[in-house]
Amino acid sequence: MGYELHITRAAEYYDSEEHPIALDEWFSYAENTPALTVGGWIWWGEDRHPFYVYTCADGSVVSMTWFEGAIDVKGHFGGDAYREFGSFAEDLRADLQGDDGERYTASGVLPPDN
């Protein structure tokens, strides 16, 4: 089973629709960020949308896809999550969160809020 990271404005990534990163905002950001390139296309209903790829410092490639108001980061990489994806989250005025609710910050990983 894979593990994902989420760039979200919500307190919990699964509530991202309540505090969304708008789809058009994401596309504009991704298109204007040289580190992101179109990796292919996905279909949502009758609409085709791009997903983006990012090459990590260790050479691994991850996908970044908008889903229900958050950006999902999928793939395997060997680096520090915040160093890899923190600037994307900051640029989007959002947080970087793992599937288990932990938050990745410049000062380290914070445990989930309980």
How far is CA 7 from each of CA 31, 45, 46, 47, rounded to the nearest angstrom? Answer: 17, 23, 25, 23
Confidence band (pLDDT; 50, 70, 90) for 96? Answer: very high
Read off the pLDDT band of 101 (50, 70, 90).
confident
* pTM, to two decimals: 0.90
Residue 113: the pLDDT is: 67
Q: What is the pLDDT of residues 17-55, one digit of tens each?
A: 999 999 999 999 999 999 999 999 999 888 899 999 999
Q: Give the DSSP H/E element, type plus range, for residue 90.
A: helix 81-91
Q: Is the pLDDT of residue 108 over 80?
A: no
Residue whose tokens read 């108001």:
69
Domain definitions of the chain by residue range: 5-110
